[in-house]
Structure 1
């Protein structure tokens, strides 16, 4: 698997100079080059680029905000600049990248993590300096967090009545907007289910090992834990490992949730070890490519949904959908007709139909 991912990275990172007369895009991927979620994110973008006739280069930052900023500086201030730079507001780095972009001639698009309220206020006073910032796209992270806990409660109710349910939660990184939005969704669902007691929420920093170490202590502290909410799949698997060591059976003695559509997560949903799985946001970058391709053609995509948009990509994945996604993921079969999503020639009432359903319904 690791060899396959490395081969994909080589394909994704061909230099701009090898492709002429097409819009060039650089994606600053905040993850690791062997991290399943972020590699699949880039692969879906590459499928879009190939169908749209664009050229995409991906650079991985290895979870280092300093490296992301250095990559942005090189791209925005160097001699060889892309037409478009796509980046993520991971660990709140967006304002620094926006400042670096001034006078670069590069158009910027933000995905996955948007600006925080405080950042919007800060950037708003200098908005005129960021004329190259053409838009942003995020997904429904708050709803994703909400859906997971609701589904855990629903499935536990099907196992039999319970007066109270103890919950432990694993959030991601404190200074990542997507993580905080998922937390808010979980807390909203918690208010609707007074029988559920949140015993403790910890920050697993998206890490399986860290969540495993935290879960070993949490399950000793709260031996009646019935529900485990996790903001990604890696932390869910870490907690699941700790539960197994404590003699608990995932899907029976303890119900787990997760976000992501990695092969292990999809298989765990099929096997019943994950009771609630939310996925779909790995397609976000691919849809951003559609918007930028329209922009490169002179189409004002803001007429069809605005400059900054929230796309409800996250949805609960049932067992049949997990099987279908597993097949697509294993074969890397992202052969969608991305050109058909363009707003070119569409009426003013057109809405870009970005959703996971497009992929699930593809042959």
Structure 2
């Protein structure tokens, strides 16, 4: 057979095969972060010719396990199942997938050390568990704290009080972000971390808690938060105490949410670390590679995404490219691997480059 014809037929056979992915979303419809995750995934799926199904567990981890089990029991199973280790529920979902032989990919929150003792790592105990992709949450927590400490120490001499606002007590992302915060604080002996609270990712709860904490610790100049909604709650509480965020108290968050980026432009928010909402789209890139025989095992079964920092130095550039959150202008095929040892470039710099090269979709 002619070599060119063979390659063409192979290409056609791969793309004619039904490629369906089901994502069990741990969040609620209408939640900013999970809406971002899904919107980005949908744009990636369209570019990559993937039939994407999204199921919402509505913040009920038991329902999340049930949904995963129902998907695995289907007669017409998806090609791949994407799950999240929200509230450490991934173990049971992996077991269901093993029982019904459904290839599974773990996203965002991966297994804790204790869970790894039971379930091991991809392709060990569970051969169907093909890989995982998570953001470097510890570095993200570190980077938020670094931006705040650098800004505060430039303006304020002497000792500084700080408050940490974490998510929940059990989600790996929340725990690792706190580790990053505490690791950075060791570099600044003049800054005292007075207390770390848990506001369960909620703006309103962070606002209520900080109203009391800012009275308890009136010398607070830094409020580190593990996501943007809690940062917005912190800004509101600070303003009601007569403080001026960005001038005599410094708040940082995480998510790259539209509301937070607007606060960076006005100066109320120092930084938002983020890009992890894109992880679902990057997971689809990895699955498309795997599906076509470009197994990412050669570069690592557990891939890491480094989150980027947006502050006043680059916020306008980001908003110029993505302020409309129209992810369809991205050519996701540019992120597929071409060589066995090639690493993924899931970075904001690569995103800017791809969009510039894709002017017809951008304009």
TM-score of the two chains, using structure 2 as the length reference: 0.89
Matched, 1:342 2:353: no
Q: Which residue of 1 aligns with 2:118?
A: 122
Q: 1:324 to 1:67 in 2, by over 3 A?
A: farther
Q: Which residue of 1 aligns with 2:248?
A: 253
Matched, 1:178 2:173: yes
* Distance in 1, Cα, partners of 2:78 & 2:122: 24
* Distance in 1, Cα, partners of 2:148 & 2:124: 46
Q: 1:307 aligns with which of 284, 287, 301?
A: 301
Query: Which 5+ residue runs of structure 2 have no aligned equivalent?
Result: 1-14, 357-363
* Distance in 2, Cα, partners of 1:185 & 1:21: 43
Q: Is the 8 A contact 2:72 2:97 kept in 1?
A: yes
Q: 1:241 to 1:337 in 2, by over 3 A?
A: same
Note the C-alpha offset of 1:356. Answer: 2.1
* Distance in 2, Cα, partners of 1:39 & 1:126: 27
Q: Is the 8 A contact 2:39 2:327 kept in 1?
A: no
Note the C-alpha offset of 1:76. Answer: 0.9
* Distance in 2, Cα, partners of 1:105 & 1:128: 15
Matched, 1:317 2:310: yes
Matched, 1:353 2:349: no
Note the C-alpha offset of 1:302. Answer: 1.0
* Distance in 2, Cα, partners of 1:89 & 1:116: 9
Q: 1:356 to 1:22 in 2, by over 3 A?
A: farther
Secondary structure at 1:40's aligned position in 2?
A: helix
Q: Which residue of 2 aligns with 1:3?
A: none
Q: Is the 8 A contact 1:65 1:90 kept in 2?
A: yes
After superposition, give the CA deviation of every residue in 1:291-312 in whole Å (9 maximum; x if it has no partner): 1011111222211x21112221
Q: Is the 8 A contact 1:170 1:230 kept in 2?
A: yes
* Distance in 1, Cα, partners of 2:172 & 2:280: 17
* Distance in 1, Cα, partners of 2:16 & 2:166: 43
* Distance in 2, Cα, partners of 1:298 & 1:321: 38
Note the C-alpha offset of 1:124. Answer: 2.7
Q: 1:157 to 1:212 in 2, by over 3 A?
A: same
Matched, 1:92 2:88: yes
Query: Which 5+ residue runs of structure 1 have no aligned equivalent?
Result: 1-18
Matched, 1:23 2:19: yes
TM-score of the two chains, using structure 1 as the length reference: 0.89
Matched, 1:36 2:32: yes
Q: Which residue of 2 aligns with 1:209?
A: 204
Matched, 1:219 2:214: yes
Q: What is the count of residue pairs matched by the alignment? A: 340
Q: Which residue of 2 aligns with 1:62?
A: 58
Secondary structure at 2:324's aligned position in 1?
A: helix
Note the C-alpha offset of 1:337. Answer: 2.0
Q: 1:69 to 1:20 in 2, by over 3 A?
A: farther
Secondary structure at 1:58's aligned position in 2?
A: strand
After superposition, give the CA deviation of every residue in 1:300-355 in whole Å (9 maximum; x if it has no partner): 2211x21112221x1211325322333414242342222222224x2x33112221
Cα RMSD, aligned residues only: 1.9
Q: 1:218 to 1:252 in 2, by over 3 A?
A: same
* Distance in 2, Cα, partners of 1:121 & 1:64: 25
* Distance in 1, Cα, partners of 2:66 & 2:146: 41
Secondary structure at 2:238's aligned position in 1?
A: helix
Matched, 1:239 2:234: yes
After superposition, give the CA deviation of every residue in 1:38-88 in whole Å (9 maximum; x if it has no partner): 111111111111111111111122221111111101111123321111111
